[in-house]
Structure 1
Amino acid sequence: MMSQSAKLKAACTPGLRVAIELGGLNDKAPSIVLGGYPSKYVLLKEPMVHPNDKAIWSEYLYPGNEATVRYIFEGVASGFKTSIIKLINSPDKILFLKYPKRVETYNLRRHKRINCFLEAEVMIGKQKTLAIVEDLSSSGCGITYLKDESSIFPEIGDNVKIFCPYFIEDNNGFIPCKVQRATKDTRKIALGLTFDKPSPEILIKIQDYVATVLQHST
């Protein structure tokens, strides 16, 4: 298990992809860590948002506003709460965040799995097939798709891609997965998949969906 000092150091890793959420703004945006100075600040690129949303985001990028940063480091979902120090515009747009006191982490494999029925597409090799996501957690999912003469039956460890519009707004976006289980019968093929380093923004949407379902089922 990583110590807090190691977790804090990891949070300042240059090139680390993160998702940031600002206090008072019900939205999240991707960004990239540029570095940091222990006990003082963490440097991020300006959050990458749609041009139409830049004006509203700029209103919340003020010194003192709260910020929540979430990311995946070495397969572990992590995050911390902090506040904005300043956004500078020259020589580049860089966001200074107050150095966090603590980084929270959790093992994705410990998250509960829920039953669901979400339409999706699975790409195996170059073949794209309509599928149904039948169970879901923060670490993976179970899918099924109809079997026919052209269907590909993947091997354990194969890479596949999941396209699920519920979690992905970009038409070119996908969730990278690895096959952990593969079974078939006369009608359909069932795959057990683990997510393979999905982007923080996609992972957050999956986590929020699972948490909402669990909350309403208790």
Structure 2
Amino acid sequence: MQSALYVSLSGQVAIEKRLETIANNMANMKTAAFRADAVKFETALSRAGTQPVAFSSSGNNFISRKAGGVTQTGNNLDVAVVGDTWLGFTTPSGPAYTRDGRLQIGTNGELQTVAGYPALGAGGTPIIVDPDGGPLTIARNGTISQRNLQVGVLGLFDIPADARLQRFANSGVIPDRPATAVIDFTRTGFQQGFVEASNVDALSEMTALITVSRAFQGVSSMIENSEGTLQNAIRSLGEPAKG
């Protein structure tokens, strides 16, 4: 068995996965609060032959929690999330979380995300404000005031560090473990009038793209060499013995 051929093929599968991830990240460099995908590769050991052979797995995607840059907009319905915490919103499938704090007010006064999902209050329920009641003031702890009267509290949620995140739409995530409401705003909170950008590092992604492309070419050359070696061996074995 030519182990090199199968190892090379497993390497190509892993590299293809990485290329797809880089392409998706670069396509979302301008998406507000987008969290970049990364791939974690592991090694699968096979002892089918006399010597152990290491194969690369196809890789498992995970979502980077690194914060993106913050830009001031001056819009009173924009909020940036401070610290490793999340803004909550509800979907037909249940709660989801995002760092995209571009809010809007629905016709019924419901505070919504830019995609139209109801934003969650600290108690996990939607927030209703007066559509004609004037601009909102959102404090660091999420307290929402309108005409100097408190009308609700925007929820801030903590997702466990070991939770696996599933992507929802562009900037949303759904964790596999329950998120909890934040009650200590010493290092976390909201910053009104600001929006968080994507955390994709364009230079790093371009560098990774070049590196991965070269790796793919190298593996392709290895496969060609392995096939050439096999063909030469078959040709040699098929030649009649000289005597």
- TM interval, shorter chain, is under 0.3
Larger radius of gyration: 2
TM-score, scaled relative to structure 1: 0.23
Return the structure number with greater strand share: 1
Return the structure number with greater helix share: 2
